[in-house]
Amino acid sequence: MHEAGANHSAEGRSFREYGWEKKHLNNRAWRSAANMRVLAQIGAALKLYMVGLKVLLYQLFHRPFASPVLPVQCGKVAIVTGGARGLGYEVARQLTGLGMHVIIASRNEKQGLAAVKRLREERSGAQVDFEFLDLASMDSVRRFVRRFEDRRLPLHTLINNAAVMLVPEGKTEDGFEQHFAVNYLGHFLLTRLLLGVLVRSGTTKACSRIISICSAAHYTADTDLQDLRSMRHYSPYAAYSRSKLAQVLFTYQLQQELQSGGFAVTANAVDPGMVDTDLYRNLSTPAWLAQRPIARLLFRTASQAAGTAVFTVASPELEGVGGCYLYEGKRVQSSAASYDAELQARLWRSSCDLLGLPESELA
């Protein structure tokens, strides 16, 4: 009896020790994974800040792009997403100055209507109005397109400008990561659904133009298209950079599709540089406080930064020219990854699958 009891006690200790060891190993694995996530976030942040520093140094020693006199655009219609404030508002303002009918598309109705009011007060007879659009909702994008089509207007320019940056981890109503949805996928859907009217509005002598407002952040992005929605390890820095790379990849693939189809529509990417807007409001408090004085000294104003986008919309030099990445009024090289034709095609297919769109049949 005593011996059996001793054996039972030894087995009990063995089971308890095994359970403790298993729990200890699980804790170690969890801590190791957590450390890897932290290191990945730090790495993504450092890469983004280094690119930002490079852009600031360029802006320190170079004057902002001064657009030449551009031809009037009377009778033409443009949609500017995120046009209620910041860079988008300034693009809308300058386009109305060229005589375009501008539709400001924004999820903030109060700001959008206020922007329309200011533009009409500033320029008598300005054709500008507001339409609600929430790019985080694919249903909102579809409803926006239906409302626009009901107006029977032509569309000569689509400016995909709206963006979020460094937002906390979260999913949209469709289950997409927020940077991915707002910066890229919502614009992908919007562009695809508006291609029909863009094609009908363009001619061989005056192509319709699609401009995506991109960012130097795309130079730092990884190319893991298996994790487009940041489902594994979330980093706001990596998610923002990846969404901006997706925009450039989309622009190049879109241009290929348009050219292959013989459509009178061009697609280009525009990098506005570092601009003093509230896009940086999600920086950590120390980073935001450090950024403010630098922004006043080295960042471009929204008015200055809008120049390249407006030039890309209206310049005769870019008539029929697509598939370019423009910065400070010049065509420059985007990242090596952005020219990967296989990556472009894979992103296109993945996006169509996510949205239930055909890969071909653009218009």
**Could you list the active site residues?**
240
C-alpha span between 105 and 159 (Å, rounded)? 10
Question: Which residue reads 């001619």 in tokens?
Answer: 203
The values of phi and psi at residue 273, to 5°, are 80, -165
Q: Which amino acid is at 310?
A: V
**C-alpha torsion sign, points 49, 51, 54, 59:** negative
CA atoms within 13 A on the CB side of 291: 19
C-alpha span between 5 and 11 (Å, rounded): 10
Are 104 and 130 in contact, with CB atoms under 8 Å apart?
yes
Name the H helices within the chain. Answer: 2-61, 86-97, 109-122, 138-150, 178-179, 186-201, 236-261, 285-298, 302-314, 341-355
Total Cβ atoms within 10 A of residue 175: 10
